[in-house]
Amino acid sequence: MKHLPLLKEAIRSAPAGDYCHTDLIRFRSFRTNFGKTPLTAGALAQRAWFENYPVYVYECDRIAGSRHGNYVSGYDPKELNKARGICGSYGYLGFWTNSDHFAPGYDRFLRDGICGTMARIDESLLVHRNDPDKVEFLKAQKEVLTGFSAFVRRHSEAALEAAARTDNEEYRKELAALAADLAYAAWEKPVTLRQALNLVWLIHLSFLFQNKYAMALGRMDQYLYPYYKNDIAAGRITDEEAEDLFGCTFMKIVEYGHGDTVNICIGGVTPEGDEGINELSYIILHAVRDCNVPGPNLSARLHEGMPDRFLDECLQVIGTGLGYPALMNDRVNIPALQRHGYAPEDARDYCFVGCIENFIPGKQPAWSDGRFNVPHFLEAVFHRGISMVDQGYLGIDTGAVEDLATMDDFMKAFEAQVAYAASEYVTIFNNENGRYNYRHYAQPFMSLFCDDCIARGMDINCGGARYFSVHGAGCMGIGTIADSLAAVEKVVYLDKKCTLAELRDALTANFEGYESLRALLQNAPKYGNNDDFVDKYAVWYVEYLDKVFSQYKTRDGGVFYTAIASNTQSVSAGHITGATPDGRLAGVPLSDAASPTYGVDRNGPTAAFLSLCKPDYRLVSCGTVVNQKYTPDMLSDPVKRAALTAAIQVYFSKGGQEVQINCVSREVLKDAMAHPENYGGLIVRVSGFSAYFTSLARDVQEDILHRTEHAEIS
């Protein structure tokens, strides 16, 4: 029996109800532990949550753990208000303070099981018995792990309850088996794929109920492969059953909400550098196709010498309209990470958190990043440190443009603006990230899944993690910048069609009355057409931004990565950025992420790829987003798909870092904008994630619509 269709219907038809607020359970624990340290009180409250939170198992479940347990009634609003106040007094970490966007070390936890992890804590307690701070932290870990064990066991009991209330004999049999698996995994090391996958999902669900989002499931085809292989060898499971099992897991992500970007990584090389693509890679790929929903956020690592089948099947799944998996290049990402001192085997084991952010699973603190609006700083060169649109922006005064006699002078002024903005960005982040006493905000549960927190007896944010924290500066507008700098060099300094002062006046007027000058700027060389004249500025962009950010450290001695990514902020950032020398009007979206400006890459996808691989993306250790759009037949027609496969392989061999593809036709998108009621299930790739098209803001829909659409490889 395929359970995925049954689970889809059960989730769709599940009745809503009042929330059982997590704060109530935590408050009832806190009030019996007033006076204890925040670390100990918080651990006891987390254990209380594990032991008291309502759990629920659907009658058709093969994977336990549901948001449906959230729906109960009977709480006192007065108590809830008090609970929120007390819980709030203990505080919360946020995205910029390393709270979520983390890839747990599931491989180590599954190998050890709850029993083995508890044994490691006990061993560390003996080692650190004379250090009160470490003893307190390790005891806090024991509390939360004891609670989690109870959480798993309670789901076993809930599975038996579900079996008792169903009239379906096959359901009863499956639920009894599920209950047995959960009872076993509540303490022992998992043996079967279903035991391991249930444990992974309940860990993930625990993070969600702690308001931690974008928690990656990591390299599932690697750490779950031994369990799958043993099940196949023992005749316990078929590939079809395994695919259904993963599909049911991924639907639970959807049940919790589409706003959570749960990244799953497949493919790539192993930590030893061997072929990592296996049967489970394809099973996971097919499972997300079966679900046919915007999440999870699947990423596929491609590498030299991989089977041709893998990329072809990835493109077929993309061609369903899902827009994922995103395609990532091991030949760029592994050296991009190794240059920061990660052990080679750890760099080879990278996965992704959030959209595309490179991450060493189970060995570094949770991720953080922000947006860095580079076109703002170009605007500041013309207007002596200010923006014509964003009244809150203030850069530095690099002098009058009349004094910038050469392109070299202009670039020095621009570099000064970028360097100043980077120093401001880093200062603001480090002030926010370093203002907390992290021991008071310790995360003993998350630390269970990060080496070497248990061995060191230290929290993930207090020196327990093997590697330092890192932060990514999401640098926006590479296409806008490359096109603008090329236009300045061509129109002002080479052809002398206008002066910088005249260009400044045109920008200030948003080109009103300067239409002929705008036409000259728009006709200057554009990034994405394999033209070195403009492409050299994309090369400069990557190199200079790495240079300015690499000189800084995070609060614990980690590094600042750069990313060439913008999510949907290329639209909102454009709203507050004045006109730019490429001919872009004030308020119009910036170029998207690492892509060329939409509509100017007129020489076909091959030329675009050749431009895109000229920057050295080994300097972009966080990652990039390149959005491309193809007509649907480019992915459905085997001949055209083969041509696209070859183009991507060449692009990656020459240093491209990432590409993701939309294949919903422009006509369909236009009709969906006009008649959204007919397109509730239409999925598109946005920028680092997929979403239902009709749920997106109108300006984001417009931005997707305007992407250059390719009908052939030329």
Q: What pLDDT, in 10s, does the model give residues 567-598?
A: 788 999 999 999 999 999 999 999 999 999 99
pLDDT category at 489 given cuts 50, 70, 90 is: very high
Tokens of 604: 């076909």
Measure the CA–CA gap between 463 and 445, rounded to whole angstroms.
15
Query: Per-residue pLDDT averaged across 459-485, rounded?
Result: 97
Pairwise CA distance, residues 366 & 99, whole Å: 6
Gap between the terminal Cα atoms of the chain: 46
Q: Is the pLDDT of residue 257 over 90?
A: no
Q: Which residue has the tokens 């492409």?
A: 535
Q: Residue 22's pLDDT band (boundaries 50, 70, 90)?
A: confident
CA atoms within 13 A on the CB side of 505: 9
* Rg from Cα positions in the chain: 26
The mean pLDDT value for 515-527 works out to 98
Q: Domain-by-domain residue ranges, the chain?
A: 1-97+110-215, 368-629
Q: Contact, 354 vs 101, CB < 8 A?
A: yes
Q: What is the residue-wise DSSP string for 47-95? A: HHHHHHS-----TT-SS---GGGGB-----HHHHHHHHHHHHHH----G
Q: Supply the pLDDT for residue 11.
A: 85
Counted residue by residue, the chain has a size of 714
DSSP result, 492-515: IIIS-SS-HHHHHHHHHTTTTT-H
What was the pLDDT predicted at 72? 60
Beta-carbon contacts of residue 89 (< 8 Å; ≥ 6 apart): none
- Higher pLDDT: 300 or 91? It is 300
Q: Distance between CA 714 and CA 709 in Å, rounded?
A: 13
Model confidence, pTM: 0.94
User: Which stretch of 361-375, 501-515, 618-632, 673-687 has the lowest confidence by average pLDDT?
Assistant: 673-687
Q: Cβ distance 69 to 55 under 8 Å?
A: yes
The per-residue pLDDT for 16 is 66
Q: If you average pLDDT over every residue of the chain, what do you get? A: 94
- pLDDT at position 269, please? 98
**38-53 pLDDT tens trace:** 999 999 999 999 999 8
Question: Sorting pLDDT into bands at 50, 70 and 90, what band is 293?
Answer: confident
DSSP 175-186: HHHHHHHHHHHT
> What was the pLDDT predicted at 18?
59
DSSP H or E stretch at residue 627: strand 627-630
Mean pLDDT of 554-568: 93
Query: Contact, 529 vs 603, CB < 8 A?
Result: yes
pLDDT tier at 696 (50, 70, 90 boundaries)? confident
SS3 of the chain: helix, strand, coil, percent, to 5? 55, 10, 35
Better-predicted residue by pLDDT, 156 or 697:
156
Nearest residue to 351 (alpha-carbon basis) of 380, 381, 330:
330
Average pLDDT over residues 105-124: 98
Report pLDDT for 626.
Answer: 95
pLDDT category at 702 given cuts 50, 70, 90 is confident
How far apart are alpha carbons 369 and 334 in whole angstroms?
A: 20
| pLDDT, tens digit (0-9, with 9 covering 90-100), for 178-188 | 999 999 999 99
Please spell the DSSP secondary structure of 305-364, one letter per residue: T--HHHHHHHHHHIIIII---EEEEHHHHHHHHHTTT--HHHHHT-EEETTTEEE-TTTS
Starting at the edge strand found earlier in the chain, the sheet holding 560-564 runs 368-373, 471-476, 560-564, 623-624
- Provide the 10 A C-beta neighbour count for residue 550: 16
Give 520: exposed, middle or buried? Use CB within 10 Å, 0-12, 13-18, 19+.
middle
Per DSSP, the three-state class of 630 is: strand
Retrieve residue 363's tokens: 């060995």
Is pLDDT above 70 for 19? no
The residue with greater pLDDT, 694 or 499, is 499
Cβ contact 591:501 at 8 Å: no
- Residue 369, phi then psi, degrees to nearest 5: -155, 175
Please say if the pLDDT value at position 258 is more than 70.
Answer: no
Over 90: is that where the pLDDT of 708 sits?
A: no
Please tell me the least confidently modeled range out of 65-79, 108-122, 193-207, 694-708.
Answer: 65-79
pLDDT for res 294: 82
Structure confidence by residue, pLDDT tens digits, 434-444: 998 999 999 99
Query: Taking the CA of residue 425 as centre, how many other CA atoms within 13 Å lie in the half-sphere pointing to its CB?
Result: 26
Decide if pLDDT at 606 tops 70.
yes
CB 607 within 8 A of CB 530: yes
> What beta strand segments (E) does 441-553 contain?
471-476
Chain-centroid distance of CA 126 in Å reads 38
- d(CA 538, CA 477) in angstroms, rounded, equals 10
- The whole-angstrom separation of Cα 678 and Cα 71 is 31
pLDDT band at 701 (very low <50, low <70, confident <90, very high): confident
